Chain A
């Protein structure tokens, strides 16, 4: 049973991060350029922050463990994002022109989860699922899990049925030496767990040996990245802790994140770099960590309250 003090910290951390995200969006940060086209030169800069806010908001609504104000903010963030994507048309046109791109699917899933649907885009996704050339695209194994989970959440007819194989291909699937890890591998671990368990909704989707393995070593990884002040990765590891069952890492990580969260809700992504005085730059630098904190808070509370994960 998660300590109630941890839950209180998690709730406050997530709620304040959500509020900061919302304020930033109200100030126009993260807005797509007016002349944006489907030929996005760099989707990571163009609409990744928008998709990430949508992810956080969609999980807040899915888990339903938040207060009315946070729920309202979540809905506003999704409305804002959906309008920025021109009700999904931007994603549809992009995928139509570039069928090999995966970001339209990975972005659409957050909106679809919350009831924003684009039937033509879904038809296109169904059609492309039958193209072997697209299935065979080379990518990181945890990214492949992301696509599989997106299809699962959207409810597409053509879904991968080889979850065990997809899972086995990840770093975690090898249950390797837990010290043979670096910062980037840390993110591969977290993302494999996110997608495999659909952000904590299906802890049982994690094969038992893999779950035991993560429970053995997660405390070490949290400790290691706490010591070097990699707050963003620590936050993701705390999400993992809640995604796989009874958390094992205790209060240490939560207290550290709460201690470095600023009054306005911003959480620095790492201790090494000072936070920019320019609010828009600060948003660009630290929005991901805010998203992580929102997800960590909502998934942790949801799991502790019995995992009330329901389709939106």
Chain B
């Protein structure tokens, strides 16, 4: 008579992963994952005011080549590299801006073209997943582009075509073209939608607003359901990310169907030991205490 535990049958076991992935790839994957954790840790320290920069030397241009895993880590964290300054925990952080800009040069957004809005439903689950993943990537890139454009001014144009040019602001006043439509929940599909919104949690920052944020405002119950579901499934990272969206909504002045503080407390207590999840929680806490503006 214990609390329910998910079976996780959909996930390959580590044995299965090993069986299909060469050892060299595994080492590379571990190296990149460690780089993401390190950068998330630096960002967390900056956010908590523990001193230190998000991108300590030699992780930013000007002091030598930035290791590729660090650049990749910056692309993975995306807008969150600039979370401490967006949340007012630090002043403008030039090093972080330059790191993110360099990461965009190394892994340009054009490598992940934004999907065109489609009126035709996906043919199957795989196609739907692929379309969803592309949409998530495109929106995260949009968030990064907006923050970079704001930090770099006209200098961002070479890096982010269209960000500050003549066509900028057609869809938005934030200075970066938006990648089509926001992920939208189908009836009874709040589970899949909330997972997608969790992947977009880096957009839940002050200074970013757009269709994804409107979708969050419109479907706060679906977000809250997703958050509760994740806590019950012991999926701490998704729970933290969705709770961060709820904190963003609270900071935006929305009434929520769920108390955010006890959720945060619970996820923090259980935790998953990663800096990435801790960063999500810290952003959520900051949003709750500091507001969006």
Could you list 6 A-B pairs, sorted by A, with CB under 8 Å?
A: A182-B3, A216-B225, A217-B225, A219-B188, A227-B233, A251-B188
Looking across the interface, which residue of chain A has its beta carbon closest to that of B232? A224
Is A217 touching B228 in the complex (CB atoms < 8 A)? yes
CB distance from B68 to the nearest CB of A (A): 38
Chain A CB within 8 A of B91 CB = no
The A/B interface has a contact count, at CB < 8 Å, of 57
* Given A216-B257, A220-B228; A183-B6 close (CB under 8 Å): no
Stretch from B94-102, B258-266, B277-285 forming part of the interface with A: B258-266
- Where the two chains meet, the residues of B that have a C-beta atom closer than 8 Å to any C-beta of A are 1-7, 187-188, 190-191, 221, 224-225, 228-229, 231-233, 257-259, 262-263, 266
Instruction: Specify which chain B residues have a CB less than 8 angstroms from the CB of A182 in the assembled complex.
Output: 1-4
Is A224 touching B262 in the complex (CB atoms < 8 A)? no
Instruction: Specify which chain B residues have a CB less than 8 angstroms from the CB of A227 in the assembled complex.
Output: 4, 6-7, 233
Looking across the interface, which residue of chain B has its beta carbon closest to that of A217? B228
Our pick among B7, B187, B228 for the contact of A178 (Cβ within 8 Å) is: B228
Our pick among A179, A181, A184, A250 for the contact of B263 (Cβ within 8 Å) is: A179
Chain B CB within 8 A of A230 CB = yes
Looking across the interface, which residue of chain A has its beta carbon closest to that of B231? A179
Chain B CB within 8 A of A20 CB = no
Alpha-carbon gap, A227 to B232, bound state (A):
11
Our pick among A183, A216, A224 for the contact of B221 (Cβ within 8 Å) is: A216
Residues of A2-59 at the interface with B, using a CB-CB cut-off of 8 Å, are none
Query: Count of A residues near B, CB < 8 Å?
Result: 21
Instruction: Specify which chain A residues have a CB less than 8 angstroms from the CB of B3 in the assembled complex.
Output: 181-183
Alpha-carbon gap, A268 to B5, bound state (A):
18
Is A183 touching B225 in the complex (CB atoms < 8 A)? no
Is B6 touching A179 in the complex (CB atoms < 8 A)? no
* Given A177-B263, A224-B229; A252-B1 close (CB under 8 Å): no
Our pick among B2, B221, B229 for the contact of A223 (Cβ within 8 Å) is: B229
Is B229 touching A228 in the complex (CB atoms < 8 A)? no
Alpha-carbon gap, A115 to B259, bound state (A):
47
Looking across the interface, which residue of chain B has its beta carbon closest to that of A212? B257
Instruction: Specify which chain A residues have a CB less than 8 angstroms from the CB of B224 in the assembled complex.
Output: 216
Instruction: Specify which chain A residues have a CB less than 8 angstroms from the CB of B266 in the assembled complex.
Output: 177, 179
CB distance from B189 to the nearest CB of A (A): 9
Is A219 touching B2 in the complex (CB atoms < 8 A)? no
Alpha-carbon gap, A178 to B190, bound state (A):
16
Is B191 touching A228 in the complex (CB atoms < 8 A)? no
